[in-house]
Amino acid sequence: MSSITDVLLFMVSCILTNNFIFSRFLGCCPFLGVSSKVETSVSMGLAVTFVMTIASLFCWLIYNFLLIPMGLTYMSTISFILVIAALVQFVEMFLKKSSPTLYSALGIYLPLITTNCAVLGVATLNMNSSYGLLQSVLNGTFSALGFLLAIVLMAGVRERLESSKIPACMKGFPITLVSAGLMAVAFMGFSGLV
Amino acid sequence: MTILYAGLLLGALGIIFGGVLTFASKKFHVEVDERVGKVRECLGGANCGACGYPGCDGFAAAVVKGEAPINGCAPAGEKGVKAIAAIMGQEVATSEKMVARVLCQGENGIAKERYAYDGYQSCATAAGLAGGPKDCRFACLGLGDCMDKCAFGAISMKDGIAHVDPEKCTACGACVKACPRSVLKLLPLSSNVIVRCRNSDVARVARAVCMDACIGCGRCKKECQYEAITVEGGFARINPDKCTRCGACAAVCPCKCITID
């Protein structure tokens, strides 16, 4: 993370090459659950971006200042879950008080993120890749932006699917999964970009 | 020893986070008028948006603030409005239950087809393509724009036209807005004698495009003893306030476009 080029390359790598949905297969539940409308998918994506950035920061602090000194690194998963759950609750209360507009825009998606594996995933990845503080936070933000991109693209595809003629056996979830698979194949084209 | 540390760490984290959250919930407590929740429960709950507010929560908040009329939620029905009036301590004049009616009988085979439409399944799109797939420019296109908008599952498509289930319809008006042809209209539920055609073309043209078109012959008007029927602009209209639902008009209509539900 020495120069601006490094940051840009890292961004491309997080958003396109190592896209959370399409190459790491993390966070597939909200990806399929909340992608039926572009509008709601944008809200979900923004909420995830928000939480992943903050969670990366706090998980890094907990890991490096508590778990490593105490030699309890095997406790990372359970501590991260605790941190994320508490953090999401806190952020929800804070937003409700300080920014009702943002609170109502994120709506129910904010508490839903507590159980999003992408958030836990980014914390674990930061830990395993021994990223520094800045890089962890950037990884959180950029990976979440990749999630945002994926879910919005998917919502666009699904809105089109709604009004197309699809064989009865493929209607609904089957065609959604096929589309998601094809999108993942398309994203494989980005591998080797960075 | 290690296991003790692990337990202590997790316990400590839990207690710290719990404390922070308790503190935050006090510190960031937002006063919410309890009436908002109560009003919210009386509403239709489909977030149909017909009231003009962003969802039911928005409407409930506006009612409590006094910005929205207490009878602004059509899906809440008479019962809901009364309940809201009780919560808000207001009186409300009970209005008659309305229902959306499909003013077209141009089923497949009755209304002439202009061309076989095989495109994007939306009435709005089809209506804009060479005057629509049916010859009649007032006909229900039957591609279901209203059905998609109905949050209550009250509309179904059968034989190429829309059908509204009056039981499920809450008169939210979403379908009326969605229809590119204005085929749907909100009418009082009790007004069950309906002219099911809006074709304002002259008789010859109207009859040429649809077997069930109103030709504006005026026989219903002559038959009606209560002066409830007017024939204007080529088709008959029934005034629900004057109509006694006797059904005499339906009996004489040569085109069978007046129906009794």
pLDDT per position as a tens digit, B26-67:
888 877 778 888 888 888 777 777 787 877 888 888 888 888
Nearest Cβ partner of A86 from B9, B17, B120?
B17
pLDDT digits (tens, 9 = 90+) for B106-162: 888 888 889 988 888 889 999 988 888 999 989 999 999 999 888 888 999 998 899
Put simply, whether A94 touches B (Cβ < 8 Å) is: yes
Contacts of A98 in chain B (CB under 8 A): 28
CA distance B164 to B144: 12
Interface membership of A75 toward B (CB under 8 Å): yes
Interface of B with A in 9-38 (CB under 8 A): 9-10, 13-14, 17-18, 20-21, 24-25, 27-30
Helix axes A173-188, A133-162, angle to 10 degrees: 130
B17:A78 CB<8 A: no
Q: Please say if the pLDDT value at position A31 is more than 80.
A: yes
Cα distance from A83 to chain B (closest Cα, Å)? 8
Residue A51 has pLDDT above 70, yes or no: yes
Nearest to B6 among A72, A93, A100 (CB): A72
pLDDT at residue A27, rounded to an integer = 86
At A60-104, the pLDDT tens digits run 999 999 889 888 888 889 999 998 888 888 888 888 887 777 777
Domain boundaries, chain B: 34-88, 96-189, 191-261
C-alpha distances in Å from residue B60, one per residue of A93, A110, B42, B51? 21, 22, 9, 11
Q: Give dist(CA B261, CA B247) in Å, integer.
A: 10
B7: nearest CA in chain A? A75
In this predicted structure, the answer to whether residue A17 has a pLDDT above a threshold of 80 is: yes
pLDDT of residue A157: 93
- Cβ of residue A4 closer than 8 Å to a chain B Cβ: no
Which of A54, A58, A89, A163 should be substituted to probe chain B, the one whose Cβ sees the most B Cβ atoms within 10 Å?
A: A163
Q: How far is CA B27 from CA A35, A100, B33, B124, B248, in A?
A: 35, 15, 18, 51, 70
pLDDT given at position B33: 78
* In the predicted structure, residue A1 carries a pLDDT above the cut 80: no
Architecture per CATH, B96-189: 2-Layer Sandwich (3.30)
| The pLDDT value given to residue B164 | 92
Band (B184; pLDDT cuts 50, 70, 90): very high
Report the alpha-carbon distance of residue B60 to residue B41 in Å, rounded. Answer: 9
Which residue intervals of B145-185 are DSSP H helices? 145-149, 174-178
Tell me what percent of the residues of chain A surpass a pLDDT of 90.
Answer: 39
d(Cα B177, Cα B151) in Å, to the nearest integer?
13
Beta-strand ranges (E) seen in chain B are 98-102, 155-158, 161-164, 184-188, 193-195, 229-232, 235-238, 258-260
CB atoms A66 and B14 under 8 Å: no
The pLDDT value recorded for residue B91 is 74
| pTM for this model (two decimals) | 0.58
CA distance, residue B2 to nearest chain A CA (Å): 8
Selected residue of B8, B10, B65, B143 to mutate for chain A interface (largest A Cβ count, 10 A): B10
Assigned token pair, B86: 């009780």
Q: Is the CATH number 3.30.360.10 carried by domain B191-261?
A: no
First to last CA, chain A: 15
What CA–CA distance (Å, rounded) separates B65 from B53?
13
Question: What gap in Å lies between CA B123 and CA B155, rounded to an integer?
Answer: 14
pLDDT digits (tens, 9 = 90+) for A117-157: 889 999 999 999 999 999 999 999 999 999 999 999 999 99
Equal fold, B96-189 vs B191-261: yes
- pLDDT at residue B102, rounded to an integer: 92
Residue B60 confidence (pLDDT): 87
The pair of three-digit structure tokens given for residue A88, joined into one six-digit string:
């999401």
Judge: B9–A75 Cβ closer than 8 Å, yes or no.
yes
State the average pLDDT over residues B231-260: 88
Q: Does the structural domain B34-88 have CATH classification 1.10.10.10? A: no
Cβ of B17 and A98 within 8 Å? no
Rounded Cα gap, residues A13 and B180, in angstroms: 47
Q: What is the pLDDT of residues B185-226, one digit of tens each?
A: 988 888 889 999 999 888 888 888 998 899 989 899 998 998
Q: What's the pLDDT score for residue A59?
A: 93
Q: Which pLDDT value is given to residue A139?
A: 94
Q: How confident is the model at residue B77, as a pLDDT?
A: 79
Q: What distance in Å separates residue B115's CA from the closest CA in chain A?
A: 19
Nearest to A82 among B17, B25, B30 (CB): B17
Query: Closest approach of chain A CAs to the CA of B189, in angstroms?
Result: 32
The C-alpha atoms of residue B189 and residue B192 are separated, in whole angstroms, by 7
